[in-house]
Amino acid sequence: MKLLRIAMFVLAVLLGGCKPSGPQTLKPAAYGTQIVEVSGGKQWAQVGSALPQPVVLQVNSADGNPVTGALVVFHGNGLEFNPPQTLTDSSGQVTVSVQLGFNPGDFQVIAETPKSGGGNATVNLREIALGYEQAVGKAVNDKYCIRCHDPESTPERVSNHDNLSPAPHQFTDGATLNRISDADLTNMIAHGGPALGKSPQMPAYAATLKPAEIKAVLSYIRSIADPPYQAPGVKYGK
């Protein structure tokens, strides 16, 4: 019995000393004064999915030179980062994969790097999670709209954007499209540009798309607008 009690005591001590600890913060080898975006902001994907491209950031010194070995830590409610913290490489950059949360709408990536004198340099990036309706709108866009409304050609698709005059607005062009009402955008998609006195090169899609698909395209346009779309109406403070 005495040996059993001793064995149980030793086991308890061993187990007590093996409690998992939280993630350890990496130790920076150098410090910068500024962190800037290289690429990866203003992306969109379906809720719960990874962004199509990684986020790339760069830490610079006061004279604008890249800093090697600076610590960068990532935060963001509802977001997952891989890795959540890392050190800058020889070009002063870090690369992180971001998985969106499960609520549609905007998410904010917050990246921080400590400064030698105390405090942090911070950069915020907007990322967008598409809900079901917005994802349907994106699928419709990819099938019917993107060839004219996106100036970038890909191996799968040659853009016709630069061949049209006036050039069609990109769907991210919130400065223009945010000023057009839902009813007018819906009318334009359904009945073509002439329905609003716009370019006749914008075709009518009422015979091609169902009303729900047109509504989904509108929802998609509103979700990716830059600057973000603000629905009209009275705004109440929290």
Digit-by-digit pLDDT tens for the chain (238 residues) are 554 454 454 445 455 554 445 567 899 999 999 999 999 999 999 999 999 999 999 999 999 999 999 999 999 999 999 999 999 999 999 999 999 999 999 999 999 999 998 999 999 999 999 999 999 999 999 999 999 999 888 887 889 898 899 999 999 999 999 999 999 999 999 999 998 999 999 999 999 999 999 999 999 999 999 999 999 874 545 4
Domain ranges of the chain: 34-130, 132-224
Question: What's the CA gap between 74 and 97, in Å, rounded?
Answer: 11
First to last CA, the chain: 65
Closest to 96 (Cα-Cα) out of 114, 109, 81, 77: 81
Q: For 145, how many CA atoms within 13 A lie in the half-sphere containing its CB?
A: 27
Q: Which long-range contacts (CB under 8 A, 24 or more apart) does 168-174 make?
A: 168/199, 168/201, 168/202, 171/141, 171/145, 171/220, 171/221, 171/224, 171/225, 172/42, 172/224, 172/225, 172/226, 173/225, 173/226, 174/225, 174/226, 174/227, 174/228, 174/229
Burial 22-46 (b: 16+ CB within 10 A, else e): eeeeeebeebbbbbebeebbebbbb
pLDDT single digits (tens) 136-190: 999 999 999 999 999 888 887 889 898 899 999 999 999 999 999 999 999 999 9
Superfamily of domain 34-130: Immunoglobulins (2.60.40.10)
Question: What's the CA gap between 32 and 195, in Å, rounded?
Answer: 55
Read off φ and ψ for residue 3, nearest 5 degrees.
-65, -35
Pick 132-224's CATH classification: 1.10.760.10, 3.20.20.80, 1.10.3720.10, 4.10.520.10: 1.10.760.10
Q: Are strands 34-39 and 80-82 parallel, antiparallel or unpaired?
A: unpaired
pLDDT single digits (tens) 127-147: 999 999 999 999 999 999 999
Q: For 99, how many CA atoms within 13 A lie in the half-sphere containing its CB?
A: 8
